Amino acid sequence: MLETSIAESLTRIVGDGNVLTAPYDLDRYSADALTPFRAFRAGYAFERLADLVARPGSAGEVAQVVTLAAGEGIPIVPYGGGTGVMGGVLPVRGGIVVDLRRLNRIREISSRDMTATVEPGVVLQELVDALAEHNLMPGHDPYSVPIATVAGTISTNGVGYRASAFGPMGQQVVALQVVLPDGRILDTRPVPKYSSGPNLNHLFIGSEGVFGIITQATIRVFRRPEAQVFATVAFDSFDRGFDAAAELMALELHPTLLDLTEAEDEEIKMFLLFEGYREGVAAQERRAMQVCAQFGGRDIGPEPTLDYWADRHQSGERYKRNALGRPREERWNRQWGRRTDYLHMALPLSQVLEYRRRCDRLLAARGVKVVEYAIWSRPEFFSMMVEPVDPDRDGAGDNLAEAVEEVLTLAQDLGGVMEYCHGPGIKLNHLLAREQGVGHQVIRDIKQTLDPSNIMNPGKLGL
């Protein structure tokens, strides 16, 4: 528990009503969308709650909060929408949770530079709405558009429905303003490419806030498409659909949406959306459908993809209605009875199908079934939804945990990474050093230099 004087000092910085200390608030800010069931061996992380919540209203206030915390050696946890699914905001060592939602101004939309400059707590839907008035849109379009913030999505380097054409959120970043762990404010320059030394934006993309708090982001934006063509292709096997997707990529055909899904008791489908200028869209669609046909794909019309597209933000809307900002028990209760985990591995293209075969054997041996396989946005991004064959059997949860561990390390052993979408959070922390090797020591060295007392989101990225 922190001393009352810290709360008073924080109140002087962020103003009355913007320091929360009630048990109800400390509970709800000590959570994101990760449930204890899916955390498996990282269950320890739920034991500790935040000591205080501070809600700064400007970058200057963030810097003052950080300076205060640095002086006192108090941990700080940046908090965006709190919709992460890996526990990235859990205050594993207590301290101050810094809620960034009051920093929610859209500073500039430039149709000339094709950028938007926004504060970190802008929710993606707010950005979508503001950009639409300029006939623009963001490139990042996850399920969680109604609930996730710009800086949260940068800090997890999330992937969305348009990533096949525009790449993940990290690829949208042009410039950042970041409050470093000692309170200094770093600004990078809003140009698309650097050759005057390394591009420091990359230090903060996908870094879960361990190197600083993003207080402003300039991101790429795109003209809303002149034409949209939806298509759905059915395949007799996942492998054939996968080969078709690989061929699309080899030809540099990048539909905005590319999703190949094999779900229990359903036809294997590839959902495709082509967007852009009219002639380009027509040419892309024609050639892509020829490629799919070469691999045995059958055109089953646009409807399944139209439905899929219309529903894509539904889970985010439901989360907003039933879970967002609620106490932990309420969030967790939504998942009661669900014994499912979802996994998102990235592998070299040549390894994906072999990986799937080995996962099938390994999971079956552990009494675990795959209810859905998918590639999302590019064939290297392979996802599985897994659950115990018999969830009521003794030890089913432990078996699932062991199976997941084996699946993740197998991805690493085949040259891949264990997560392409959500960040390691607390869930995958323990496997990062295994994956990164010397790279992890380098990350540690950087952390030691920038944050020697390890106050900035301690316990994340394996630090």
Task: Please tell me whether residue 80 binds ligand FAD under the rule CB under 6 A.
Answer: yes
**Do 345 and 416 touch, CB atoms closer than 8 A?**
yes
Q: State the residue for tokens 């809620």.
A: 99
SS3 category, 270: strand
Torsion region of 22: left, alpha or beta (phi above 0 gives left; psi -120 to 50 gives alpha): beta
Q: By CB under 6 A, tell whether 28 contacts ligand FAD.
A: no
- Identified binder of ligand FAD from the candidate list 241, 255, 297, 316, rule CB under 6 A: 316
**Among residues 271, 319, 332, 382, which is the contact residue for ligand FAD, using CB under 6 A?**
319
Radius of gyration over every alpha carbon of the chain, rounded to an integer in angstroms: 22
CA 341 – CA 388 distance, rounded (Å): 10
Report the candidate in 278, 211, 120 with the shortest Cα–Cα distance to residue 454: 211
Instruction: Name the one range near ligand FAD by CB under 6 A: 64-72, 74-82, 283-291, 428-436.
Output: 74-82
Does 217 help bind ligand FAD (rule: CB under 6 A)? no
**Restricting to residues 405-424, which ones interact with ligand FAD according to CB under 6 A?**
421-422
The reply to whether 90 sits near ligand FAD by the rule CB under 6 A is no
**Least CB distance to ligand FAD at residue 313 (A):** 9
Kindly give the residue spans of alpha helices, DSSP state H, lying in 273-395: 278-294, 303-310, 314-322, 328-333, 352-365
Under rule CB under 6 A, residue 428 binds ligand FAD: no
Buried b vs exposed e over 414-436: b needs ≥16 C-beta within 10 Å? bebbbbbbbbbbbbbbebbeebb
Q: In whole angstroms, how close is the CB of 392 to ligand FAD at the nearest point?
A: 27
Closer residue to ligand FAD in complex, CB, 274/319:
319
Task: Confirm or reject binding of residue 153 to ligand FAD (CB under 6 A).
Answer: yes
Of 87 and 225, nearer to ligand FAD (C-beta) is 87
88 touches ligand FAD (CB under 6 A): yes
Q: Give residue for tokens 């630090």.
A: 463
Task: Out of 213, 363, 375, 432, name the contact with ligand FAD by CB under 6 A.
Answer: 213
Q: How many CA atoms lie within 13 A of 274 on its CB side?
A: 20
User: Smallest gap, in angstroms, from Cβ of residue 65 to ligand FAD?
Assistant: 12
Residue type, position 455, single letter:
I
Segment near ligand FAD (CB under 6 A), from 128-136, 152-160, 329-337, 399-407? 152-160
Containing H/E element for 375?
strand 368-376
DSSP 104: -
Give 153-212 as a DSSP string. HHHHT---TTHHHH--GGGGEEEEEEE-TTS-EEE----S---SS--THHHHTTSTTSS-
- Residues 174 and 191: their CA atoms lie apart, in Å, by 6
Selected range binding ligand FAD among 15-23, 141-149, 294-302, 377-385, rule: CB under 6 A = 141-149
Least Å distance between CB 199 and ligand FAD? Answer: 17
**Is 144 a binder of ligand FAD (CB under 6 A)?**
yes
Q: How far is the CB of 352 from ligand FAD (least distance, A)?
A: 20
For residues 111 to 130, the per-residue mask of contacts with ligand FAD, x marking binding by CB under 6 A and - elsewhere, is ---------x----------
Is residue 152 close enough to count as binding ligand FAD by CB under 6 A? yes
148 binds ligand FAD (CB under 6 A): yes
Give CA–CA dist 395/403, Å, rounded: 12
Asked if 159 is part of the footprint of ligand FAD (rule: CB under 6 A), the reply reads yes
Residues of this chain that interact with ligand FAD (CB under 6 A) are 32-33, 77-85, 88-89, 100, 120, 142-144, 148-149, 151-153, 155-156, 158-160, 208-209, 213-214, 315-316, 319, 421-422, 457, 460
